[in-house]
Amino acid sequence: MSDSSTKYIFVTGGVTSSLGKGIVAASLAKILQARGYSVTIQKLDPYINVDPGTLNPYEHGECFVTDDGAETDLDLGHYERFLNVPTSQANNVTTGRIYQYVINKEREGAYLGKTVQVIPHITDEIKRRIQLLGNTGKYDIVITEIGGTVGDIESLPYIEAVRQLKWEPEIDCIVVHLTLVPFLAASGELKTKPTQHSVKALLESGVQPDVLVLRTEHDLTEDVKRKVALFCNIEPRAVIQAQDAETIYDVPLLMQEEELDKVVLDKLSLPYREEPTLEGWKDFLKNLKNPKDEVNIGLVGKYIELKDSYKSIAEAFIHSGVKNNLQVNLHWIHSEDVTEELADNLLEHLDGILVAPGFGERGIEGKITTIKYARENNIPFLGICLGMQCAVIEFARNVLKYDDAHSTEMYPDTPYPVIYLMEDQRGITSKGGTMRLGSYHCELQENSKAYQAYGKKDIFERHRHRYEFNNKYLKEFEQEGMIATGKNPEKDLVEIVEIPKHPWFVGVQFHPEYKSTVLNPHPLFVDFIKASYENKKR
């Protein structure tokens, strides 16, 4: 049964992918939240992977991890960065997960001999997942973003579920459809036909959108809007323009100017409540656009051809830059390009260096060489997950003089396994959802860079890894100057390493980037940028 007080908004997309449905959904959520509503956003992904955890980043970009250990679509990162509220397992559902659940039930005999079909069994399960968040009673409004583009074969069951929900008397919901109004330079015209066709495709599935959001490079005239309204059976004020913005963080304010919040609230029969001020948000944007100086940071990773692979890291740099009144110029460096010979050339101009997370052998030596360079040249360094593990390997090889030191992930028979498989990972062969995932406790040592950044002893950060620091070597590391300044006390796992003699050298086994938001920039990123700027001035 559904909690009838929760309202649902479905966000669908037409014409083309990559229109920024996630940003529009997050922006709508933001401006509704600013009016005093509690809002959450959910993403339904039409692919058959059970979750994106097993996907190569080149496929869909970064895999975002929630507190409760779900491996999810990167749009959930946008939701958290915009709303400043954590998401959970229930916020991301894939076709794979839906089918897995239904097929397991079939095997248990739960369907009592019935033929199991897309309609009603798959669609019922989709509808159940949509209402899971609403039924918690925590949210006034649940926004559900439907991945893919209307007309895709894979999206059909989702659109069908939306159609059914629209007809359920106890469910109050609306559909916001995002399309593109392309500009044809040759004729100097904005064209509405693709939008008309896309709405027609939705109508063929029995869904009439309530609001249209039109992505456009140019201002839409009233005429264009009226035309779209007329052809698409939409109230003219519910045709909203979403002009290309300077930054994604402008979009909530642009949507507010277009009164998307008011239109949506009217359609859901909800009051406007308080006038939103979005003060903190506006301050953030003002600072973002008026930095007092800039700082150059290198991001060394192996997936840099697709920048979305490091989405949360890139966004965390924007947040922490603003906090320092600095523009962060990110230099994307391919770890495979970094060699002893080229290190100077590639890294010398940087004020700070981040070595990214990752899996597998490719690019490892370049990461280790980068870290050696940062360590020896006193360049502020932040290593995340694999980046931290590489810092440990580098230190073992070049300071402890264990030439063949490595992680057993890359070199199972290394004589010096300074990074090795965690106890509870041994014997696990299945790849999906089996890493150490989600939020874990970490206790900080008081006189450390990490403690300085956080300003407290107990922190909780999100993890996604199988390997860990091998405590057998800890004493030697500490004697030579690399200290474990953060530990998980329950399992005695090293979570943070630092080199106190270095101006700012911090490696973390967890992923701080997942918890950085506009209103709460992550303290480690903030201090890393601060240290990098101090380095620049030196």
Q: Which is nearer to ligand GLN, 332 or 359 (CB)?
A: 359
**Does residue number 466 form part of the binding site for ligand GLN (CB under 6 A)?**
yes
Closest approach of Cβ 386 to ligand GLN, in Å? Answer: 3
Using CB under 6 A, which of 295, 386, 493, 531 touches ligand GLN? 386
Under 8 Å between Cβ of 369 and 347: no
Which residue is catalytic, options 394, 502, 513, 522? 513
**Active site (annotated) includes residue 511:** yes
What is the DSSP code (8-state) at residue 205? T
Pairing relationship of beta strands 141-146 and 7-13 according to DSSP bridges: parallel
Instruction: Collect all residues with Cβ–Cβ distance below 8 Å to 53 and sequence separation of at least 6.
Output: 63, 71, 431, 432, 433, 435
Closest approach of Cβ 381 to ligand GLN, in Å? Answer: 16
**Active site (annotated) includes residue 106:** no
**Does residue number 299 form part of the binding site for ligand GLN (CB under 6 A)?**
no
Q: Which residue has the tokens 């007329």?
A: 230
**Restricting to residues 182-221, which ones interact with ligand GLN according to CB under 6 A?**
none
Closest residue by Cα to residue 357 from 338, 340, 374, 335: 335
Under 8 Å between Cβ of 65 and 511: yes
Q: Which is nearer to ligand GLN, 276 or 358 (CB)?
A: 358
Q: Which residue has the tokens 């796992």?
A: 493
Binding mask 346-385 toward ligand GLN (x if CB under 6 A, else -) reads -----------xxx-------------------------x
Under 8 Å between Cβ of 346 and 318: no
Q: Count interface residues toward ligand GLN (CB under 6 A).
A: 10
- Give the helix/strand (H/E) hosting 319: helix 311-323
**Does residue number 121 form part of the binding site for ligand GLN (CB under 6 A)?**
no
**Does residue number 464 form part of the binding site for ligand GLN (CB under 6 A)?**
yes
**Active site (annotated) includes residue 385:** yes
Residue span binding ligand GLN (CB under 6 A) among the ranges 148-156, 198-206, 294-302, 463-471:
463-471
**Restricting to residues 388-427, which ones interact with ligand GLN according to CB under 6 A?**
409
Residue span binding ligand GLN (CB under 6 A) among the ranges 121-129, 171-179, 201-209, 460-468:
460-468
DSSP string for 18-84 = -S-HHHHHHHHHHHHHTTT--EEEEEEE-SSSSSGGGS-HHHHSPPEE-TT--EE-THHHHHHHHH-
**Both structure tokens of 261:** 């919040």
| Helix, strand, coil percentages in the chain from 3-state DSSP, rounded to 5 | 40, 20, 35
Q: Which is nearer to ligand GLN, 271 or 360 (CB)?
A: 360
Closest approach of Cβ 466 to ligand GLN, in Å? Answer: 4
Q: Which is nearer to ligand GLN, 177 or 436 (CB)?
A: 436
Which residue is catalytic, options 232, 385, 390, 442? 385
Residue span binding ligand GLN (CB under 6 A) among the ranges 25-33, 151-159, 203-211, 465-473:
465-473
**Does residue number 231 form part of the binding site for ligand GLN (CB under 6 A)?**
no
Residue span binding ligand GLN (CB under 6 A) among the ranges 146-154, 284-292, 458-466, 496-504:
458-466
Q: Is the dihedral of CA 470, 472, 478, 483 positive or negative?
A: positive
**Would you call the peptide bond into 120 cis, given omega within 30 degrees of 0 as the criterion?**
yes
**Does residue number 30 form part of the binding site for ligand GLN (CB under 6 A)?**
no
Under 8 Å between Cβ of 412 and 386: no
Q: Which is nearer to ligand GLN, 467 or 504 (CB)?
A: 467
Closest residue by Cα to residue 171 from 160, 163, 182: 163
Residues lying near ligand GLN in the complex (CB under 6 A) are found at 357-359, 385-386, 409, 464-467
- Kindly list the catalytic residues: 385, 511, 513
